[in-house]
Chain A
Amino acid sequence: MPLANDIPKRRTRVIRAGVVYAGVVLAIGIAAGSRPNNLLVWVFACLLAALVASGIVSGFMMMPLRAVRIEPRRGRVGEPLLVRYEIQNSSRVIPAYDLHVAEVDATKASGLEPAGEAWVLHVGPGDRVHAEAVFRPMRRGTLRLARFEVTSTFPFDLLRKVLIYTQPAEVLIHPEVHPLREGVLERVTAGGAGGQRMSSEGGGTDDFFGVREYRPGDSVRQIAWKRLAGTGKLASIERSRSVPPRVRILLDLSRPTSALRVTEGEDARELEERAIVLAASFIAYCDQLGYEYALSVAGLPIPPVALRRGHFHREKIMSLLAALDLELPRAAGNGLSASEERATTIVVHADRTDTSVAPSEAWHFTARQLESLIARDPTKIAADERAPTASQRREVRA
């Protein structure tokens, strides 16, 4: 939630156009002073007055402005991060025009690359207007926004008036999610422990499950008419429902970053980040297919997330992945055991597989496989459809 926690600092910056203009005015002033031509003096006077009027008009325009950043709750690497600003003009008379809003500290190095500035054409007296800036989050994690500024060169583009607001905020940037190749997850979950099965509870719409006492609110269609005819009591038919496949994803970060095997040109931390991206992509894919999914992180003190599905569950897991601190010391031995709830297990490793962290039927992937798992052009996917599957098999055997 946004809160402006500081009165804005006001600055006036000289811009290049203003310097050029001042030079021209000075030249005309010298010319007007050196020859008896009152029309030239008049032109000089108007040009000089325009410079002063620029300061006065923009000063009066910017004085009553208040701006608040409406902080986004979260963002995602590779997706536009929309940051909204509320600009309020508390003046009763003077409107404001041509306002640019920009984050002062948003740079590529800080992990937030501007991709579209927020611009306000007009804020009338007493009006509130929302403007939207677009950023490109560059890396996962907590992003800290500190200051933003509202600037304007209106009316004559000679001076830049600036209001600097200090409004610290934190935005959680989720890891990047790639669309995985079609069929990858279906093959993994086909049959086995995590496959589709019937629920042990009623409430669905499939096969007959049983009869129970009528409850107010039950549909007329559910009424067991034969039972009613026989016993004279209202009863409802319950039908079974199918339970979606379950996938448990284990992100293996048990090896310290320094212990990872990397080839020349590879970065160990980058491999770990890619492993996180792969895990996030599996999560997103599971969510897309309607699976139940869970997440455990081996090597870091993160409590496992239980099997669930739905938007909030996904967001919870993504937030957990976003907040992973790879600087923490790693601990071995908190992998998955065979006694866990029945589900297909997918283990995502950073550099190489380690079968000890998961049950034997688990599927193992490494961060290096990310590129081959990402969905590509449909025509290409059809051509080498089998390749990734074979590769996965080899990984598992290994």
Chain B
Amino acid sequence: MTLLRRHRIASFLLAIVAIVAFSIAELDFTMLFLGVVLAVLSWYVTEGPRGRTLPDWAANTVVVCAIGWEAFRFLSTGEIADAMGALGRAMVWILIAKLFARRTPTEERQRFALSTMLVIAGCLESVQFAFGLLVIVYVCVAIWTTMLWRLARSAEEARHSRELSQGFAPPLEIAIGRRSSPQFRGLVIASILVVLAGGVGVFILFPRFAEIGSASAAGRSVSGFTDEIRLRRGDRITESRRELFTVRWIDPDGSARRMLRPLLLRGAVLGWYDAAGERWVPLRAEAGIRTLRTPEDGAFARLARNEPDPPGAAATVDIEMRSFATDVIFSIYAPIAIATSEPRSVSIDPATLVLRDVSTDRMGRYWNYQLQVQPQPSAEMLRALSAGTEPRGAYLSFPLDEVKPIAESMLAEVQANSGLPPRPDSNATASERAVWGREAARAIAAYLRTNFTYTTDLSTLPRVEGEDPIVSFLTRYRRGHCEYFASGLCAVLRSLGVPARIVTGFIAIEYDENSEHYIVRESNAHAWVEVRTGPDAWMAIDATPEESLIELQERNRSFVDRFRWIYGSLEFFWNSRVVSYDASVQSTFANRVQGSWRDAAGERLSQLLAKMRAIATDLSLGRAGGAWFATIAIGVCTTLLAVLIVRTRRRRLRARLGVLGATRAEQRRLVRDAAFYVEALDMLERAGFMKPAHLTPRLFAEELQTRDRMLGDAFLKVTDRFYSVRYGGSDGPSNASAGADSHLSLLLALRAAIRQNRATRRAD
């Protein structure tokens, strides 16, 4: 009978899940804490040893106050976008008030409705994975609660119907079978599975919008990486420890190892500083972008069109995505070949050597790839990769003139301290200028690392109106994060006439010695500078203090990092498969399913036919082979079906005859000899006369006689015969054909009586 008491705890849990879900959706942890604490308190107060509840007037007052307070807050802020949030918050407090109120059926219904509305309000507010998980949990708990509530309500109604008679009717004795609780659990689980399966089906088939705006970005995953730098926005800098991917460096001899310096994984090259927008953006791509298709067998596809022969030894970088889907292919300078876990279309910009996945399917998912790289590529290789593309003049210009004197003074200071040679004059060769530019970049980067401070917290730095953030960084604050260091270095170098560009991507610092790979986290998003060192050659210069990055990495490390990628993968799955599921993904999915079914079925059929042909050839069956196989297949199927039917029938007969406790020999005998009785019962049941369990066969026959004399008589004879077989030691029909005839005649007589009865009833 515990089933009837459990609905209270179930409805309480449902309310808690709804409150937690909405708080997570709103990212309001104060409400989460307060709501859960008050809800738990309500359970102690209402269901504890004293069992007190809030009077109706007090509960109603709390409800009115909650509505009034939230309405006041909403009207005072006046943000229409927060309307659903205000409504949800009001509902949370009303729900908590209801948890303290009396447990009447109406209150229960209101609590259920409020919980559901809270979850729906949360759906309009958030698409986070954690909230989605709570929605699924809510669905499961709601099913459980509803089923328990239905039972409790029915019991209450049945009791109430007796109470209405004012003592006339005896109290209700609840009719209950065996093992009700375990079976109820099973039924709840089955119902949950049916609902979830149906829900998934409806979700997949529900007509969708062509594109789900912001959600499509979620399909590509969120990370610290972007292909532009906005210096005024501090929100890009994240300390998230989410594991995005792993990188393994494999030497040309095939051994994995850790590099002396952190790996810089290039994602985007930013060549243009937009002074008005205070941001670095990529130069517009020009003609010359090549696209290639990676092979299916995982072999490397060469990125250069006219590769030098021989290409030279190359290391391999193995990148395994953990929870990151993007069209950017992160590579180490300079990539010469790529292999992917599945065939993809890859584009390469010869001017920047930035790789992109340009495959057309939009099913948000991630895939792994390997790159062959040459850290110090030959000039021929670089020429082959760049395909003769000349670097543009934009790499030499910087739009802010006020940086030039800063750069000059910084150069003078550097030259005084580091022995940097003077700047080559206009008669110097390009090679001399390139060498000086490289040395200057190194010296200025070292200067920045020494004299500037790394910080991710820019909130304490006041903004100076009308002053560019790069200028502020170089002159006023002298502190910032990697974007400021890279921007400052690039601005100074360009002002000094050294071609430079900013690269964004990730820096791989954390190395796992056990699995011999680098772990790249969201917080490893990085920006650095590349300086031109030759006609097609660029060299990475990182002005950010490496020690600060390592210290930051170490400071945030915890044991949870080992498991963070699991949550990251789930979150990615949620974002890519649920949140960003739109019309195009729906269409892709439908085509893929259709194609895979067709392919799989066709493949199996062709395999089967080939096998049959081979057997037919081996056995020299000739053209009749097909007919033979068909005959054998039909025979096998028929035999299996017959065995199945016989087994089922025997099992059913044993159960109907109630001989499961007898010896096997006795069971066999009775199943063989007394089957006619079960057949008679079946005939009667089909005719609408079901034998109640509490009646013996003879009593049932006598009862039938009172209904229909002829029918009763016919069945009485069957019963007598059954008694003689079951208890009287009759041999049954198997040993005497006369007995079989007798059974048959009895059944025929019964059938005639049934027909007669049916005709009579029809006439009536």
Contacts and interface: CB of A to CB of B under 8 A. Distances in A.
Interface of A: 1-7, 28, 32-33, 36-46, 48-50, 52-53, 56-57, 66, 68, 70, 80, 82, 86-89, 94-95, 97-98, 100, 114-125, 127-132, 134, 136, 153-157
Interface string B187-222: 100110011111111110011110111010000000
Contact of A154 (B147, B172, B183): B147
A49 B135 contact: no
A3 B692 contact: yes
Nearest to A66: B690
A155 B187 contact: yes
Q: Specify which of A3, A128, A131 lies most central, judged by the most chain B CB atoms within 10 Å of its CB.
A: A3
Interface residues of B: mostly helix, strand, loop or mixed? helix
Given A116-B165, A155-B187, 7 more contacts: A39-B578, A49-B202, A68-B692, A80-B168, A97-B147, A156-B146, A157-B153
Interface residues of B, number: 83
18 contacts: A2-B692, A3-B692, A3-B703, A38-B215, A38-B578, A38-B581, A41-B206, A42-B203, A53-B198, A88-B693, A98-B150, A115-B168, A119-B155, A121-B176, A122-B175, A124-B177, A155-B147, A157-B153
Given A40-B124, A155-B150, A115 B162 contact: yes
B183 A124 contact: yes
B11 to A, nearest CB: 14
A97 B184 contact: yes
* Chain A interface, DSSP helix/strand/loop, else mixed: mixed
A52 B165 contact: no
B605 interface: no
Given A49-B195, A116-B158, A155-B150, A37 B123 contact: yes
Given A95-B183, A116-B158, A121-B155, A40 B175 contact: no
Given A1-B699, A36-B212, A114-B161, A46 B139 contact: yes
Contacts of B211: 36
A70 B692 contact: yes
Contacts of A1: 695, 699, 702-703, 706
A128 B693 contact: yes
Contacts of A132: 173, 175
B579 A38 contact: yes
B203 A50 contact: no
Nearest to A97: B151
Given A95-B177, A98-B154, A43 B120 contact: yes
Contacts of A94: 187
Contacts of A57: 187, 190-191, 194
B158 A154 contact: no
Contact of B201 (A49, A70, A100, A115): A49
Name the residue among A2, A7, A53, A88 with the largest chain B CB count within 10 angstroms: A53
A85 to B, nearest CB: 9
B340 to A, nearest CB: 29
A131 B176 CA distance: 9
Nearest to B204: A45
Contacts of A154: 147, 150-151
B172 A119 contact: yes
B675 interface: no
Contacts of A39: 123, 126-127, 131-132, 135, 578-579
User: Which of A36, A114, A136 neighbours the largest number of chain B CB atoms within 10 Å of its CB?
Assistant: A36
Contacts of A87: 175
B173 A121 contact: no
Residue among A38, A130, A157 with max Cβ neighbours from chain B (10 Å): A38
A37 B147 contact: no
Contacts of B215: 36, 38
A89 B183 CA distance: 13
A5 B172 contact: no
Contacts of B580: 38
B736 interface: no
A136 B124 CA distance: 55
Contacts of A131: 175
A119 B135 contact: no
Contacts of B692: 2-4, 68, 70, 86
A116 B174 CA distance: 12
Interface in B88-136: 119-120, 123-124, 126-127, 131-132, 135
Contacts of A3: 689-690, 692, 700, 703-704, 707
B694 interface: yes
A53 B194 contact: yes
Nearest to B209: A36
B261 to A, nearest CB: 44
Given A66-B690, A124-B177, A32 B206 contact: yes
A45 B180 contact: no
Interface in B142-188: 143, 146-147, 149-151, 153-155, 157-158, 161-162, 164-165, 168-170, 172-180, 183-184, 186-187
Nearest to A17: B109
A124 B180 contact: yes
Contacts of A2: 692, 703
Contact of A116 (B124, B172, B199, B707): B172
Interface in B658-713: 688-690, 692-695, 699-700, 702-704, 706-707
Contacts of A95: 177, 180, 183-184, 186-187
A86 to B, nearest CB: 6
Given A50-B195, A86-B694, A41 B579 contact: no
A45 B162 CA distance: 40
A82 B171 CA distance: 12
B645 interface: no
Nearest to B113: A24
A238 B421 CA distance: 151
A36 B150 contact: no
Nearest to B128: A39
A98 B127 CA distance: 38
Highest count of chain A CB atoms <10 Å: which of B119, B154, B164, B213? B154
Q: Which of A32, A43, A44, A153 has the most CB of B within 10 A?
A: A43
Nearest to A61: B187
A122 B177 contact: yes
Contacts of B123: 37, 39-40, 42-43
Given A38-B581, A95-B183, A155-B187, A121 B175 contact: yes
Contacts of B313: none
B582 interface: yes
A50 B161 contact: no
B165 A136 contact: yes
A54 to B, nearest CB: 9
Q: Which of A45, A50, A128 has the most CB of B within 10 A?
A: A45
A1 B702 CA distance: 10
Nearest to B694: A86
A127 B178 contact: yes
Contacts of A48: 198-199, 202
Contacts of B198: 45-46, 48-50, 52-53
B120 A28 contact: yes
Contacts of A136: 165, 168
A5 to B, nearest CB: 5
A48 B205 CA distance: 13
Given A39-B127, A39-B135, A121-B4, A49 B194 contact: yes
Nearest to B149: A157
B689 A42 contact: no
Contacts of B1: 121
Contacts of B164: 115
B3 interface: yes
Contacts of B187: 57, 94-95, 97, 155
